[in-house]
């Protein structure tokens, strides 16, 4: 079952035509009987006339018809072309793979490549990239800048990216299932984040924040011995493409409010609420 964000957050995203909400929810307008994408250019209705749905099918079952302007039944956003090359048949895929790598897909694990998997979660589809060394990327498929990150990983490592199976991908999928079920909020997966020494220092420090707790950017800066580096910590968090497993969502402003999250602030709020609800009893928020 797909979990929708809180109504207030969806309404705010809809009224702002927030592109990060694309594919997350659809909007039914009671006065017109149509449903739209969150970014529909049509005039915004009054909040009391809005109903939200997780999928176009749900909106259709609710009695709404698709908007002709924003065409909500069309594909939401193309999957990054680097990891979703389409072929008309399985044999076509095998031929293309063999031409590129000199071996069939059945031998993909012996090729020098990163393996990709799409993982469905209550907050949307995530993309994972891994090899035998560990997990290189895990993020929401609608994340802005995702394709640039995929390019960076591919070009820096000199590795091709293809769909495939890997024990670390299996562990990631199982870990996410346990996380969203609330039975386990930590992960035991080798991580290989691509970043500078400073960024990796920040990301490592994020693991000191237990599930169910938060820290402010300024508190993290103090703990890292750079009290004026709050903004630099925020920038490093913004470049974390190992969502959830490197818990940048646990960092908040000193006043307790939320700000920037690559997957959308509504996801950040959902993750924090989820962890607070399922974490073992403890002092839930660290003094900022």
Which SS3 state, helix, strand or coil, does residue 50 take?
strand
CB hemisphere CA count around 45 (13 angstroms): 18
DSSP H or E run through 268: helix 265-278
**Whole-angstrom distance, CA of residue 59 vs CA of residue 33:** 10
**Whole-angstrom distance, CA of residue 180 vs CA of residue 160:** 31
Q: Is 248 a catalytic residue?
A: yes
CB hemisphere CA count around 156 (13 angstroms): 12
Selected catalytic residue, list 36, 40, 70, 113: 36
Selected catalytic residue, list 40, 70, 113, 248: 248
Q: Is the dihedral of CA 43, 46, 48, 49 positive or negative?
A: negative
- Going by C-alpha positions, the residue among 118, 122, 120, 94 that lies closest to residue 108 is 94
Tokens of 184: 């386990």
Strand order across the beta sheet in which 124-131 lies:
134-140, 124-131, 113-121, 160-163
| Cα–Cα distance list, 260 to 124, 171, 249, 252 (Å) | 18, 28, 9, 9
Q: Is 259 a catalytic residue?
A: no
**Whole-angstrom distance, CA of residue 248 vs CA of residue 267:** 12
**Whole-angstrom distance, CA of residue 186 vs CA of residue 240:** 17
User: Could you list the active site residues?
Assistant: 36, 248
């Amino acid at each position: 079952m797909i979990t929708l964000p809180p109504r207030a957050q969806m309404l705010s995203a809809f009224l702002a035509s927030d592109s990060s909400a694309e594919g997350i929810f659809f909007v039914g307008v009671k006065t017109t009987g149509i449903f739209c994408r969150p970014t529909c250019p049509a005039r915004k209705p009054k909040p009391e006339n809005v109903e939200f749905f997780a999928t176009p099918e749900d909106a259709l079952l609710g009695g709404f018809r698709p908007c002709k302007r924003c065409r909500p039944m069309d594909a939401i956003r193309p999957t990054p072309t680097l990891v979703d090359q389409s072929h008309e048949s399985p044999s076509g895929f095998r031929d293309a793979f063999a031409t590129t790598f000199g071996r069939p897909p059945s031998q993909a694990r012996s090729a020098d490549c990163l393996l990709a998997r799409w993982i469905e979660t209550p907050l949307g589809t995530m993309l994972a990239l891994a090899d035998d060394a560990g997990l290189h990327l895990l993020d929401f498929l609608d994340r802005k800048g995702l394709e640039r990150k995929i390019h960076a990983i591919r070009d820096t490592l000199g590795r091709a990216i293809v769909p495939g199976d890997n024990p670390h991908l299996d562990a990631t999928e199982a870990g996410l299932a346990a996380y969203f079920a609330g039975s386990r909020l930590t992960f035991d997966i080798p991580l290989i984040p691509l970043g500078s020494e400073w960024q990796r220092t920040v990301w490592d420090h994020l693991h000191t924040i237990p599930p169910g707790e938060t820290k402010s950017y300024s508190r993290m800066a103090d703990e890292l011995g750079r009290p004026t580096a709050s903004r630099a910590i925020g920038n490093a968090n913004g470049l974390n493409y190992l969502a959830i497993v490197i818990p940048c969502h646990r960092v908040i402003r000193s006043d307790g409010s939320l700000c920037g999250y690559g997957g959308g602030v509504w996801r950040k709020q959902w993750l924090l609420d989820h962890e607070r609800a399922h974490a073992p009893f403890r002092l839930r928020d660290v003094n900022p």
